[in-house]
Amino acid sequence: MTNASRPKPVKSPRSLISMSQVPETLPASNDPCWCGSSRKYKRCCKGTEGRIQPGIVSPMRYVPDTIGKPPYAATGVPPRNEESRVKSPEIIERMRVAGVAAAEILRRAGEMVRPGITTDEIDIFVHDLTLEMGGYPSPLNYHGYPKSVCTSVNEVICHGIPDNRVLLDGDIIDIDVTIYLNGVHGDTNASFAVGTISEEDKNLIKVTEECMWLGIEAVKPGVALNEIGRAIEVHAKKHKYGVVRAFIGHGIGENFHTDIQVLHYYDPRNTMILREGMTFTIEPMITASGETRHKMWDDDWTAVTADGSRTAQFEHTLVVTADGYEILTGGNGAVSPCAPWKR
């Protein structure tokens, strides 16, 4: 899950509108919008037809008292806890366990992806499997987020809220899983094809995974943090793709997000030097059109590409080692076990 602060959500006037209700003949720009919002069409739904729309979000799911919970589970407000950027061997070992669990949950959630399933069904599966593993689904009530996983479809960049929308043949979906287990978080995500997708979407997913691994391969002690972003951005631009700038990788450990900020593009100011024992995520969001900007839905969570173009994402949690890095959410059983060129 990307690093971002969250204002209080508000309800969308179109939250219950289905694109199946779009009329065959669209109104003129200054006529009332077809969605029933009482706004002019040009100020409301014009240009959104064919894009993902908000669906019905089911109630927040229950977590029993027997499950260890992060400090924000009850209040929705993460405390301002200071956490060392360099982790102790004991914390890293716990993060390995959480990372393996997160990788398994993501893989099994990805196996559910098919035309006809709803993102809410994926959320239920992730929630129940996380509890079965003895963990807490980290996104649940984090700054008020209402679900246990993020499901971002087509032009949704990140933080898509699972709802009653049915996945369609030709969609692409990113599933972002984080588990809180034994007092630490493990965070990973990947993009999946829904049924048969276009060659363009296949290439977008392929290049996005490559971008993540090129960023990972830049990691070693003594290297500036911005070398990760440089490696990602160079590869994306080579394919005329865009790197979303507003959402970034983050430090992670006993807290879901810590103060390490991993930009997925090159910024000469991002000069923090990597040290052995640092733990963070690398999670580039890549757009098919080259767009780098985003828009927010009225739920104040769902981010979409400004131009409606499709986007993909991959993410791993890693630790800096003496001679490079160790992937805590990779290896056998992971969706992206290692760099594609090493398979």
Quick one: average pLDDT of 208-226?
98
In a domain, 164, yes or no: yes
Which residue type, as a one-letter code, is found at position 99? G
- The predicted structure's pLDDT at residue 4: 56
In a domain, 1, yes or no: no
Query: 189, 178 in Cβ contact below 8 A?
Result: no
Other beta carbons within 10 angstroms of residue 110's beta carbon come to 18
Distance CA 61, CA 81 (A): 26
**In this structure, what CATH number is given to the domain that contains residue 85?**
3.90.230.10
Q: Are residues 278 and 180 in the same domain?
A: yes
pLDDT digits (tens, 9 = 90+) for 155-196: 999 999 999 999 999 999 999 999 999 999 999 999 999 999
pLDDT digits (tens, 9 = 90+) for 239-292: 999 999 999 999 999 999 999 999 999 999 999 999 999 999 999 999 999 999
In a domain, 6, yes or no: no
Distance CA 22, CA 197 (A): 24
Number of domains present in the structure of the chain: 2
- Which is higher by pLDDT, 154 or 41? 154
pLDDT digits (tens, 9 = 90+) for 13-47: 333 344 446 777 888 888 888 778 788 776 776 66
- Give the CA angle between residues 132, 135, 139 to the nearest 5°: 115
Q: Are residues 34 and 89 in the same domain?
A: no
pLDDT digits (tens, 9 = 90+) for 134-143: 999 999 999 9
In a domain, 100, yes or no: yes
Residue 63 reports pLDDT greater than 80: yes
Q: Are residues 122 and 24 in the same domain?
A: no
DSSP secondary structure code for residue 59 in this structure: P
Confidence (pTM): 0.89
Q: Which domain holds residue 30?
A: 15-50
Q: Are residues 93 and 31 in the same domain?
A: no
Q: Are residues 120 and 34 in the same domain?
A: no
Q: Are residues 241 and 330 in the same domain?
A: yes
Residue 151 reports pLDDT greater than 80: yes
